[in-house]
């Protein structure tokens, strides 16, 4: 197997020091919160490297990352729900949407909206727009939260499983840095 470039090896060793400093949970939670609600970017930006640095913590970091993104997304959902007043009022009149059209959308979203939200969490794309739109269009809060939680847990636990069952060892072989 070809050897990793030296900067990758140095980066992995630095990640281990950061993970051992005791603030990895805070960083993963904070980034999840900011990414779920404000900043664009991958939700797994800190979770995955820190899990690779300390694979024994992968599942705990998956839970922490999920909690952060869930809270950030729920905030966006409520912002979208507040925007619903504008959508049903002046914007609806401008585009000639009747209250019946909104009622039809809500019925359809109550049936299928959770699947769309779940699918959005599986992609590497941000769920910010999905969260805002879910609130604005009126996806039921329980369906939104359940689908978001199920999707995020599925994604982060699948990544944690990969880290624990081969990913961390593959990185250690490639960088010639012994596993943690």
Supply angle C-alpha 106, 123, 104, rounded to 5.
10
17/166 Cα distance (integer angstroms): 21
pLDDT for 175? 52
pLDDT for 35? 78
pLDDT for 88? 66
User: Measuring CA to CA, which residue among 120, 146, 124, 122 is closest to residue 132?
Assistant: 120
pLDDT for 60? 92
Residues 6+ positions from 173 with CB-CB distance below 8 Å: 1
pLDDT for 99? 67
pLDDT for 124? 65
pLDDT for 169? 65
pLDDT for 129? 77
User: Measuring CA to CA, which residue among 5, 158, 138 is closest to residue 77?
Assistant: 138
pLDDT for 173? 55
DSSP per position, 129-150: HHHHHHHHHT--HHHHHHHHHH
pLDDT for 33? 81
CB 139 within 8 A of CB 111: no
Catalogue the E-assigned strands of 5-47.
none
Q: Which one-letter DSSP state was computed for residue 124?
A: S
10-residue averages of pLDDT along the chain (180 residues)? 68 74 80 78 75 84 91 91 73 67 69 78 74 83 92 89 76 55
101/108 Cα distance (integer angstroms): 11
Cα 175 versus chain centre, distance: 28
DSSP per position, 53-65: HSGGGHHHHHHHH
pLDDT for 71? 93
Tokens of 24: 């990895």
What are the residue ranges spanned by the domains of the chain? Answer: 6-175
């Amino acid at each position: 197997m070809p050897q990793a470039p030296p900067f990758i090896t140095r980066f992995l060793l630095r990640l281990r020091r950061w993970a051992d400093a005791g603030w990895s949970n805070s960083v993963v939670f904070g980034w999840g919160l900011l990414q779920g609600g404000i900043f664009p970017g991958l939700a797994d930006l800190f979770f995955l490297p820190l899990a690779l640095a300390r694979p024994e913590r992968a599942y705990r970091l998956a839970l922490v990352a999920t909690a952060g993104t869930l809270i950030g997304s729920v905030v966006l959902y409520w912002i979208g729900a507040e925007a619903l007043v504008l959508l049903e009022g002046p914007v609806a009149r401008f585009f000639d949407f009747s209250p019946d059209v909104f009622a039809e959308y809500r019925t359809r979203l109550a049936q299928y909206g959770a699947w769309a939200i779940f699918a959005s969490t599986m992609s590497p794309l941000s769920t910010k727009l999905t969260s805002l739109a879910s609130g604005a269009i009126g996806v039921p809060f329980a369906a939104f939260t359940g689908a978001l939680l199920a999707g995020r847990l599925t994604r982060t636990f699948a990544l944690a499983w990969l880290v624990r069952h081969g990913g961390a060892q593959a990185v250690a072989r490639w960088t010639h840095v012994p596993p943690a």
